Amino acid sequence: MGEVQAKRPSGRGRFITFEGGEGSGKSTQIKMLAERLSAAKLRTLVTREPGGSPGAEIMRHLVLSGMGKLLGPDAETLLFAAARDDHVRTVIQPALSQGTWVLCDRFFDSTRAYQGSLGSVPMGVIKAMQRVTIGDLKPDLTIILDVPVEVGLKRAAERRGNGTPDRFEGENLRFHEELRQAYRQIAAEDQQRCVLIDANADPETVAARVWKALRDHVFTLPTSAPTA
């Protein structure tokens, strides 16, 4: 495998986030990308939100059990923010500064989409929380996986089996349609950072699209390197 040349000075790792609605295939794609980066000899850490650090995993349990909903939209958003603050400080920042590439399943765009566009929390409040929790930290690339709502919900139901839907899977069809639109809007508004990927295809096809996004946005590969 050819050497991967980063566009930005080496030293700090790259921060890549994955976003999308229910059943968009984030975890499969993150796993495939992590394997590909590791094969290219890049140290890679896979993490997720809400959660990713011991403190944040406790808050994950609270929000996904529906406790956050009981507290109301502002407090629920604060729980996500508190989880992110811990995760960034104790896991993401240290890994990046040690040169590790961090692949994160959901990050602040989830708050913008779920609590902002779909919830009743004003964008000003969300941005203020964002300044406190992540400061200047911005993903180098955000992959937004886009699938028709029926496809995503069917995948999520298959994965769940007989288990009960979590706090957000249990929302109605309209919610998921609006969620898809919210993500499309985020992608359109920040084209330098975000790439919207058609994820209604088999995992290998989607992985090739993800790899191309990395090549275009994060690094250049010499011709000897694997091509999508």
Residues that bind ligand TYD (CB under 6 A): 22, 49-50, 64, 80, 105-106, 110-111, 114-115, 166, 168
- As measured in angstroms, the least distance from the Cβ of 119 to ligand TYD is 8
User: Shortest gap between Cβ of 64 and ligand TYD (angstroms)?
Assistant: 6
Q: Which is nearer to ligand TYD, 28 or 93 (CB)?
A: 28
CB of 77 to ligand TYD, least distance (A): 8
Minimum Å distance from CB 2 to ligand TYD? 33
- Judged by beta carbon, residue 106 or residue 217, the one nearer ligand TYD is 106
Smaller CB separation from ligand TYD, 13 or 50: 50
Classify burial at 90, counting beta carbons within 10 Å of its beta carbon; exposed 0-12, middle 13-18, buried 19 or more.
middle
